[in-house]
């Protein structure tokens, strides 16, 4: 078949091309071309994703493209992580409408990523949408007042929400226990991070019709209980229940037992629990618990049990035996303090993350054939090395079991050996073709094992799509100062740096070195624990970054404690930022400057 022009390509080839393009690129390229191309890209007109746009692209899309497709849009994603201020600007754009449905009548899902305090005004306009997903800002904490308003709008105001995700990466949401309980009759699916177990019980009371509940509980509270889990308030319809407990003091096994045995409708159970209760390691207690769940068809479980006190690794054999004797398929591994128990195989129905340890290289299992099965739908792998001495081989033996991951998150790293010829031979067939994000958080004493780091970060055979790097500032500078003088990381487009007391002050000289090594950055974030580590040079640092990175789209500097300080200028005088960006008009740059954050989007 002879193809003379682009339109002659079959639909299958056009759709294959679209996979590699953003929604915006697809609509800009093919939209309004002809009726056939319009039909071909129908699915992409339904799902509009506004993340990773320049400010100019966003403005064009809002004022010229979205109005043309307003009746078609079913899903909308807005992400201020890549476009600081995007939610607030979009809310300003829809100001003439009382609700978002008036503008986008077919909209069924909205996802607000990196939601911040200044975005709260959009919430009343989205209460008629069936599926609402809100992920809070991971760097600047939500104010108590913002969390109160979110609680009141989403749980204490009449709405049409059937599926809700409300996630806060820090302490979770403290729900309002002093308000009259309003029943959320429509709410069937809920993913939420809450502060305490009291908040979980309040959810049971507020949402009696849930069929899916995924909840993360962050804090142990010594306060008197505000809620009691009586049998009459326990949910009657939940089929899919996920519980993530982040404080080891929070939930003893007996409390978990009492909760789960009163939800006999559970068909899919997922548990991610950190604890110091030894009962979690006893297989017969789990078998007894599961006998009260007659419909249970699927179990995903990751237990992190703090029971070790010696300087030698915990012997997992007796714990493994108790699960084997009770017919439960698990693997077990340990370091000197923590016993890990995971359900096997690592196969999931939807994309998910797995938390593990380099000690999993020595894991034992009740069924080795299940343990060795290829992991399925694991997109994120999170390691915690706990700063215990490890070899590079320990980490890579575990990584090898999860070849489809997109995100590799490793923290508390203490790799003591070098990468010898034996290691290189063992890992030469390892491929991570989907890996795009590497988070390498805190080496022992900020002393990064350079060969180990470079094998991950600068190995295009291992990870050809890797483009995003997150590190602690002290670790990062340690690496940069030990690279060859002309070396550059041209592959990275995103860089996130975090700093606390151990990382020292953010220095202009170090920033200049970083910019030299990372010349192609499009998104750059620096988050410090205390503003005092950056205030001295903050304006010079911002000007240096904005003037040096020609491809830069967004810059964020933020702090957790104290306040960022800038030269005394009128509140709306951002001309120095405009000049640093080499832009002729202020409308081409959007700035946010407050006590906790400065962000630039251009």
The series of mean pLDDT values per 10 residues for the chain, 602 residues long, is 61 69 71 64 77 90 87 93 94 95 96 96 97 92 93 94 92 89 93 94 94 94 77 91 94 94 96 96 97 96 92 92 97 95 95 95 95 93 94 94 96 90 85 97 92 95 96 96 94 96 92 96 96 90 92 94 73 69 75 90 93
Residue 12 in any domain: the answer is yes
Predicted pLDDT of residue 447: 92
Predicted pLDDT of residue 33: 63
- With contact defined as beta carbons under 8 Å apart, do 125 and 110 qualify? no
Residue 126 in any domain: the answer is no
Residue 370 in any domain: the answer is no
Q: Which one, of 569, 573, 497, 508, lies nearest residue 534 by Cα?
A: 508
How do strand 330-334 and strand 338-343 relate by DSSP bridges? antiparallel
| H-only helix segments in 183-263 | 197-206, 253-260
Predicted pLDDT of residue 570: 47
Q: How far is CA 266 from the centre of its chain?
A: 26
- With contact defined as beta carbons under 8 Å apart, do 246 and 216 qualify? yes
Write out the two tokens for 9: 């390509």
- With contact defined as beta carbons under 8 Å apart, do 375 and 402 qualify? yes
Residue 4 in any domain: the answer is yes
Cα 413 from Cα 595, distance rounded (Å): 33
Write out the two tokens for 534: 């950056």
Domain that holds residue 15: 1-41
Residue 19 in any domain: the answer is yes
Q: Measured on CA atoms in the order 278, 283, 289, 295, is the torsion positive or negative?
A: positive
Residue 245 in any domain: the answer is no
CA angle (464 as vertex; 23, 469 as ends), nearest 5? 80
Predicted pLDDT of residue 427: 86
Domain count, the chain: 1
Write out the two tokens for 462: 């291992």
Q: Which one, of 47, 58, 49, lies nearest residue 84 by Cα?
A: 58
Predicted pLDDT of residue 423: 85
Residue 27 in any domain: the answer is yes
Residue 152 in any domain: the answer is no
Predicted pLDDT of residue 52: 84
């Amino acid at each position: 078949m002879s193809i003379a022009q682009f339109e002659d390509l079959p639909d299958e080839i056009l759709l294959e091309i679209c996979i590699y393009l953003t929604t915006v690129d697809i609509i800009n390229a093919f939209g309004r071309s002809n009726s056939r191309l319009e039909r071909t890209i129908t699915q992409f007109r339904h799902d509009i994703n506004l993340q990773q746009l320049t400010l100019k692209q966003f403005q064009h899309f809002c004022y010229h493209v979205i109005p043309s497709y307003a009746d078609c849009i079913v899903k909308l994603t807005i992400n201020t992580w890549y476009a600081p201020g995007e939610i607030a600007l979009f809310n300003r754009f829809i100001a003439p409408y009382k609700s978002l449905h008036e503008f986008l009548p077919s909209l069924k899902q909205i996802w607000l990523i990196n939601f911040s305090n200044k975005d709260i005004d959009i919430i009343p306009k989205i209460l008629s949408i069936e599926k609402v997903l809100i992920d809070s800002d991971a760097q600047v904490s939500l104010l108590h007042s913002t969390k109160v308003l979110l609680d009141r709008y989403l749980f204490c105001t009449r709405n049409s929400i059937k599926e809700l995700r409300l996630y806060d990466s820090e302490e979770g949401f403290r729900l309002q226990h002093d308000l009259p309980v309003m029943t959320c009759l429509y709410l069937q699916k809920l993913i939420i991070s809450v502060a305490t177990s009291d908040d979980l019980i309040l959810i049971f009371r507020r949402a009696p019709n849930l069929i899916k509940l995924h909840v993360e509980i962050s804090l142990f509270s010594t306060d008197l209980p505000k809620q009691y889990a009586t049998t009459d308030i326990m949910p009657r319809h939940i089929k899919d229940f996920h519980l993530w407990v982040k404080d080891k003091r929070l939930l003893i096994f007996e409390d978990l037992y009492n909760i789960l045995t009163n939800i006999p409708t559970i068909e899919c159970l997922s548990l991610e629990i950190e604890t110091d209760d030894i009962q979690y390691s006893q297989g017969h207690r789990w078998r007894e618990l599961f006998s009260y769940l007659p419909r249970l068809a699927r179990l995903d479980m990751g237990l992190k049990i703090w029971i070790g006190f010696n300087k030698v690794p915990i012997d997992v054999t007796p714990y493994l035996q108790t699960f084997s004797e009770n017919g439960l398929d698990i693997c077990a591994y340990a370091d000197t303090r923590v016993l890990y128990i995971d359900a096997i195989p690592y196969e999931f129905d939807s994309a998910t993350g797995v938390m593990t340890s380099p000690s999993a290289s020595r894991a034992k299992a009740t069924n080795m054939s299940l343990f060795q099965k290829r992991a399925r739908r694991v997109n994120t792998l999170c390691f915690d090395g706990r700063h215990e001495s490890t070899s590079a081989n320990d980490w890579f033996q575990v990584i090898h079991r999860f070849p489809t991951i997109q995100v590799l998150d490793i923290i508390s790293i203490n790799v003591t050996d070098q990468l010898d010829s034996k290691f290189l031979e063992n890992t030469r067939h390892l491929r991570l073709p989907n890996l795009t994000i590497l988070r390498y958080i805190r080496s022992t004493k900020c002393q990064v094992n350079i060969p180990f780091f470079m094998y991950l970060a600068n190995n295009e055979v291992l990870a050809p799509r890797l483009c995003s790097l997150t590190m602690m500032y002290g670790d990062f500078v340690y690496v940069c100062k030990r690279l060859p003088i002309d070396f550059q990381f041209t592959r990275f487009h995103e860089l996130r740096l975090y700093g606390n007391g151990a990382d020292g002050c953010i220095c202009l000289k170090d920033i200049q070195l970083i910019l030299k090594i990372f010349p192609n950055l499009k998104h750059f974030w620096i988050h410090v624990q205390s503003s005092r580590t950056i205030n001295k040079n903050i304006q010079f640092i911002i000007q240096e970054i904005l003037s040096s990175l020609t491809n830069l789209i967004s810059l964020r500097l933020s702090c957790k404690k104290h306040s960022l300080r800038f030269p005394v200028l009128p509140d709306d005088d951002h001309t120095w930022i405009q000049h640093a960006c080499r832009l002729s008009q202020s409308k081409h740059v959007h700035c946010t400057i407050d006590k906790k954050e400065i962000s630039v989007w251009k």
